Chain A
Amino acid sequence: MSTNGDAPLVEVESLVKYFPIKSGLLSREVGRVHAVDDVTFSVREGETLGLVGESGCGKSTLGRTVLRLLDPTSGDVKFRGRSIAKLRRRELRPVRREMQMVFQDPYASLNPRKRVGSIIAAPLQIHGVGDKKERRKQVQDLLQTVGLSPEHYNRFPHEFSGGQRQRIGVARALALRPKLIVADEPVSALDVSIQSQMLNLLDDLQEEFNLTYIFIAHDLGVVRHVSDRIAVMYLGKLVELSPAEELYERPIMPYTEALLSAVPIPDPDLSDQRERIVLEGDVPSPINPPSGCRFHPRCRYMTDICAQVEPPLVDYGNGHLAACHHPLNVDKETLDRVKVSKLHTPAAADESAKPRDTSGESPGSGHLEV
């Protein structure tokens, strides 16, 4: 297995996940929920990719499909260069050891009738790691790693607070020493003060165990703090992907701009001064997504073309991609270059508009293979 830093750990290629809606006596398919629709990205080893969007945008489905907790409708997921989209159950098992998940709800994701020790030991047991005694020792070590006490081994989940339960969830995910952890809104159910403890813990663990994270959240404030790169999703589509800081300095997609402006700022004066872009209404139904750009009904820059043509995901340089007919914060030079390259085939366009980033400050500055 190659572990050189450059190869992506996870490659997601044109991934599609539809959920059929069946109805009637014969269970005919009457429609489809377009949960994830043609999404392509890659995650490097040791990197944190933030995945952001509103409820119902498909970010959780995407996370689960990457782990093969759900089978993709089409497209491919590669883990360390090996396709896992079509692996059979038994073939999948060794791969599963390397990818784990932390769930959003610390109340629903732990079995209330099991002791903490056996909850955390479950993955070890399933994969036949060590004997009972060794497992016990490992679990106690894990408890300590996530900031709980080894004496908590025999307690039940209800004896813990929300933040502590989330730590138990993290310990369980760490048990098999995975490479990749998909964290699905790990802090959104927690108080602000506990949230920051959790984010710091995830940070520490990443360093200690060289973990790669896909961090799913709806709050761009939280995501910024942990991510090297950030992917923004809207109604099943990847609409913007960028190195983290760049996304905050110059968002290209109007949806990202709106998401940023919705994050509350705990400073009354700044909060008063800044322009609030309040998105009207809810996310439309993913059963019949809007034509053209899926964001157009809620977009304040909307023109005719937006309703007719779906904008392609275009590389604006420095690994910053966005799908929009009216890109924001892009200088004329870049815009011209992108326009010219759009005339070529999409593949060639991406190639020509891709000035390789050589600053190499963080693993996050990597570009994306489209």
Chain B
Amino acid sequence: MAEPLLEVKNLKVSFRTEDGVVKAVDGVSFTLSPREVLGIVGESGSGKSVTMMSVLRLINDPNMQVEGEVIYKGRDVMKLDKDQMQEVRGGDIAMIFQDPMTSMNPVYRIGDQIAEAILTHQDVDKRTAHKRAVDLLKQVGIPQAETRVDDFPHQFSGGMRQRAMIAMALANNPDILIADEPTTALDVTIQAQIIELLDKLKDDFGSAIILITHDLGVVADIADRIAVMYAGRIVEFGAKRDLFYDPQHPYTWGLLGSIPRLDRPKTARLHSIEGMPPSLISPPQGCKFRPRCPHAFEKCMEEPELVSRVDKRDHLDRCWLEPATKRVARYQTIEGGQAA
């Protein structure tokens, strides 16, 4: 593999609360190669957003504790001072958020907000920055960009606002674009537009993308590799095709089975993962997915490690089940017990 662009080593993030210590991220490690699209998939509270926010050191909470290393360009991001961090954030690594309504400042014009991102990181005059903002809006597909650049956020629709956010994030040609549920608040039609846009832009700008989502369907198109997170850990990590066609962790099976599929005959019932994500203050003993896992057995009272498969080095999972058992068990879950 080529030299990784970003390397996260054993990242742990916890928050002290009145009720106890919340282990939001518990030992997450991964690498990101240049121009790669990495999908991070998991439920609310699985720690996927906190992981990426802490990579950018965006959480400023006195009760937070972070351990581990985040290596970017040979430097540990966790040890950078404020100015150096400012350079990385928004310059080398940019982020877009789920809610395009609240992540823009409602009292500034769209163009000025994009220009501000440019002026912060590049040594250009205001006029150049403004012109660049228009170009960026064109690139993300805003019609009549010359006039719309002077609009306020409320004059944009949800989809257009998310496009403008992407334009802002790309303003400094970042190496890495982190997109945190960029399509969750949008209609399916607009979601399709945004995903296609990201797919196109990663080639135009040569950025690597980390796409955070709770829906495996969203990353099926554009991700190269996918990490599935549960209760603050990665439970499965592999190339997209391995993950979709040869998934190893029961939680991944559950996620795949929960999606109503248009490409298959309608089933009487949808598969659902029973119960709720566990408390991160007092997580269950052993495998964190055990209480919700229909295949759990005695050994699951011990926590499994994230290990690679015997036959595939780059496909990792955190499960005690034997490969042969998995093949039978997952069929049930993903296909809804139906003959294919």
Taking beta carbons and an 8 Å cutoff, which residues of A are in contact with B? 54-55, 161-164, 191-197, 199-200, 203, 218-222, 224-225, 244-245, 248, 258-268, 270-272, 276, 278-279, 281-282
Q: Mark B252-295, 1 if CB is under 8 A from A, else 0.
A: 00111111111100100111111011000000000000000000
A-B contacts besides A199-B270, A219-B188, A220-B188, 8 pairs, CB < 8 Å: A191-B214, A192-B258, A262-B188, A264-B221, A265-B263, A268-B221, A268-B244, A279-B193
Please tell me if the beta carbons of A199 and B260 are within 8 angstroms of each other in the complex: yes
User: Which residues on the A side are within 8 Å of B105 (C-beta)?
Assistant: none
Question: How far apart sit A270 and B259, CA to CA, in the bound complex (Å)?
Answer: 15
Question: What are 10 A-B pairs at a CB distance below 8 A?
Answer: A191-B43, A196-B260, A199-B270, A222-B260, A248-B262, A264-B220, A265-B261, A266-B217, A267-B263, A272-B221
Closest 7 CB pairs of A and B: A264-B217, A196-B272, A196-B270, A196-B258, A262-B192, A266-B217, A197-B272
| B60 close to A (CB within 8 Å) | no
User: Which residues on the B side are within 8 Å of A266 (C-beta)?
Assistant: 216-217, 220, 244, 256, 259, 261
| B218 close to A (CB within 8 Å) | yes
Please tell me if the beta carbons of B193 and A278 are within 8 angstroms of each other in the complex: yes
Please tell me if the beta carbons of B255 and A193 are within 8 angstroms of each other in the complex: yes
Q: Mark B204-216, 1 if CB is under 8 A from A, else 0.
A: 0000000000111
For residue A170, give the distance in angstroms from its CB to the closest CB of chain B: 15
For residue A107, give the distance in angstroms from its CB to the closest CB of chain B: 12
User: Which residues on the B side are within 8 Å of A258 (C-beta)?
Assistant: 189
Residue of B nearest to A197 (CB): B272
> Which of B25-33, B62-70, B156-164 interfaces with chain A?
B156-164
For residue A272, give the distance in angstroms from its CB to the closest CB of chain B: 8
| B12 close to A (CB within 8 Å) | no
Question: How far apart sit A267 and B270, CA to CA, in the bound complex (Å)?
Answer: 17
| B44 close to A (CB within 8 Å) | yes
Centre residue among B43, B189, B221, B255 by max chain A CB count within 10 A: B189
For residue B332, give the distance in angstroms from its CB to the closest CB of chain A: 15
| B187 close to A (CB within 8 Å) | yes
Question: How far apart sit A279 and B276, CA to CA, in the bound complex (Å)?
Answer: 36
Residue of B nearest to A255 (CB): B189
Report if A221-B270 is in contact (Cβ < 8 Å); known contacts: A194-B43, A262-B191, A278-B193.
no
For residue A194, give the distance in angstroms from its CB to the closest CB of chain B: 7
For residue B140, give the distance in angstroms from its CB to the closest CB of chain A: 13
Please tell me if the beta carbons of A282 and B221 are within 8 angstroms of each other in the complex: no
Please tell me if the beta carbons of A55 and B262 are within 8 angstroms of each other in the complex: no
217-256 of chain B: CB within 8 A of chain A: 217-218, 220-221, 240-241, 244, 254-256
User: Which residues on the A side are within 8 Å of B240 (C-beta)?
Assistant: 268
Please tell me if the beta carbons of A263 and B190 are within 8 angstroms of each other in the complex: no
Please tell me if the beta carbons of A221 and B220 are within 8 angstroms of each other in the complex: no
Question: How far apart sit A203 and B277, CA to CA, in the bound complex (Å)?
Answer: 23
Question: How far apart sit A298 and B135, CA to CA, in the bound complex (Å)?
Answer: 24
User: Which residues on the B side are within 8 Å of A268 (C-beta)?
Assistant: 220-221, 240-241, 244
Residue of B nearest to A57 (CB): B187
Question: How far apart sit A262 and B256, CA to CA, in the bound complex (Å)?
Answer: 18
User: Which residues on the A side are within 8 Å of B241 (C-beta)?
Assistant: 268
